[in-house]
Amino acid sequence: PYGIYGTREDAQLEFSKQLHIIAGLITEDDGPYLCGSEVSLADATLFPTVVFAVRMYPKFDFGIEDAIPAEIRTWFDAVIEQDEVFRKVYNEIMAGIQKWEDNGRWDPIWRAGQRDEEPGTLFDKIVAGEIPANVVHEDDKVLAFRDINPAAPAHVLVIPKDRDGLTRLRKATLEHVELLGRLLLTAGQISNDESLGFGDGSRVVINDGKDAGQEVFHLHLHVLGGRDFTWPPG
């Protein structure tokens, strides 16, 4: 949903990286503009984006250090102060952003208007290594381990290492598309592992909420196998 980037955080990290590249190209010539004393297409192209970025980055809790480099901020502040046209553009964009904010447009956006304020769970302690677990898979995003109360000969739990607001499936947003795909991919890989007790097939279950029997409010997939299953489930 964010171009080639799976999450808004990845997109913002890349945007900040590009700003730092631009900052390294800024000349030290006299004048407030990117290329010295003369305004250029580079100024006109970058300026509207930075207006929004200056307002946007503080809204999120991604913890991007020095998201907008000092050289860009110096240029940005200077052209607003010294160039009437840029100042007019700034005021027009800010008026639009303010109207956008007044209409609550940030409110539904994950990690801007919405935050994960639910308490931690035992899964956080497993990820941190504070509680031991029989881990069968781990990568940068996903952890999988055997269920201590198995409901089948093969029973593995697959969880996101960073819950990122996914206390339950219905909390998923477009921000979580990549992560949800990783969870399902991992579940499929695990169900192919005969050494874990899986045969020809598995059942993948997500209990969403108390009515569905969810006990730990950190999204997790149950991957069950090694026996026949009936339908409908209980």
pLDDT tens column, 118-150: 999 999 999 999 999 999 999 999 999 999 999
Residue 220 is among the residues annotated as catalytic for this protein:
yes
Global pTM reads 0.76
- pLDDT for 1 beyond 70: no
Q: Would the CA dihedral through 169, 172, 177, 179 be positive or negative?
A: negative
Please report, rounded to a whole number, the percentage of residues in the chain having pLDDT higher than 70. Answer: 99
Per-residue pLDDT, 234: 65
Report which of residues 5 and 158 the model is more confident about.
Answer: 158
Active-site pick, 176, 218, 220, 222: 220
Structure tokens belonging to residue 165: 């607001």
Give kind and range of the element (H or E) at residue 174. none
The alpha helices in the chain, defined as continuous H runs, are 8-23, 41-56, 70-82, 84-102, 122-127, 177-191
Average pLDDT over residues 94-110: 90
Could you tell me if residue 226 is left (phi over 0), alpha (psi between -120 and 50 degrees) or otherwise beta? left
Question: In whole angstroms, what is the distance from residue 175 CA to residue 190 CA?
Answer: 25
Question: How many CB atoms sit inside 10 A of residue 190's CB?
Answer: 22
Residue 150: cis peptide before it, omega within 30 degrees of 0: no
b/e per residue 52-64 (b: at least 16 CB within 10 A) = ebbebeeebebee
